[in-house]
Structures are given as C-alpha cells and as structure tokens.
Amino acid sequence: MSQDIQRELDLPPMDQVGFVVRDLEAGMALYEPMFGPFSTMDPGPMTYDYRGSQEECDMRLAFGKSGDVEIELIQWLRGGCPHKEFLDAGREGMHHLRFRIDDLAAKVAEAEKVGWRAFWSKRYGEGLAVAYMEREGDPLFLELFENHHG
C-alpha cells in the first residue's frame, strides 16, 4: 500500500496481514518458521453483509506474529464471503491488510469518497465491527477494524 493511500485515509500503522489458505494445517506448517507458533480459532458460522446480501459463512482461523504485526491465516469452510471468492479466482496467499480505527462508519464513509467500497462487513456489538474495502483494479483488500474492547 502506498504512503499516499495511508495518508489519504489517515490510517494508523497496519496491525495485521491476512492470508487465505486452502488448508489451515498445511498453511501453519508452511508459515510457522516465519510467523509461528500459531493459535487457532473456530468461530463457527456467522452472518455478514456481503455484497448487499446477508450471507452466512464459516471459516477456521490461525494467528501468528511478525514483530507487532499479527499474521492471520483463514481457511474457508462454507458460505459466501471474500475468502471463497479469492479461492474461486484461483488465488491463495496474501489477501488483506488490517488497520484498527476508532469509528468504522465514519472511516468507511471517508474511504468511499476516494474510491474504496465496503463489500463485506459486520457489527458484532457496541464498539466491535469490521469492514473489508476494495477498489477498482486493486487485488489487495483493506480491513478496517473497530475494536474498543482490546
């Protein structure tokens, strides 16, 4: 991501790089020498606003570190979501960069003014929400993450 985009959107330093993998165990084995050890999470099915519809999806997750940056591995299990879209396009690997922000709705509106579009989002509760952003011609997504709980 260019410095101009980071300045234009007034984003803090990136705090996570997300990778989509077809097989979580294989992905952890591949990346553990660089980012491990990994902890895993199976959040179960959740419903998100995905390209204008409510879609349930299920994923398995693993988390490692590179310095202060979290490394997230995501294995799609079922349902409609950007991770399935990524795999269906024949891709695997780096998928998104995450930025923690204070007010998701305000930052999404600001980003949309300069060509980004929210296409996958969820408000989990007060002070906890996520939105994936995309823009024309850019294969890398931005994840904006509001988390006032830690």
Q: State the SS3 of the chain.
A: CCHHHHHHCCCCCCCEEEEECCCHHHHHHHHHHHHCCCEEECCCCEEEEECCEEEEEEEEEEEEEECCEEEEEEEEEEECCHHHHHHHCCCCEEEEEEEEECCHHHHHHHHHCCCCEEEEEEEEECCEEEEEEECCCCCCEEEEEEECCC
Q: pTM for this structure?
A: 0.93
| Domains of the chain as residue ranges with CATH | 3-147 (3.10.180.10)
Whether residue 1 has pLDDT greater than 50: no
Spatial neighbors of 63 by CB under 8 A, at least 6 apart, are: 38, 39, 40, 41, 70, 71, 72, 73
Number of Cβ within a 10 Å radius of residue 132: 25
> Which pLDDT tens digit goes with each residue over 106-127?
999 999 999 999 999 999 999 9
> Which pLDDT tens digit goes with each residue over 134-150?
999 988 899 999 999 87
Higher pLDDT: 5 or 136? It is: 136
> Which pLDDT tens digit goes with each residue over 58-111?
999 999 999 999 999 999 999 999 999 999 999 999 999 999 999 999 999 999
Whether residue 2 has pLDDT greater than 60: no
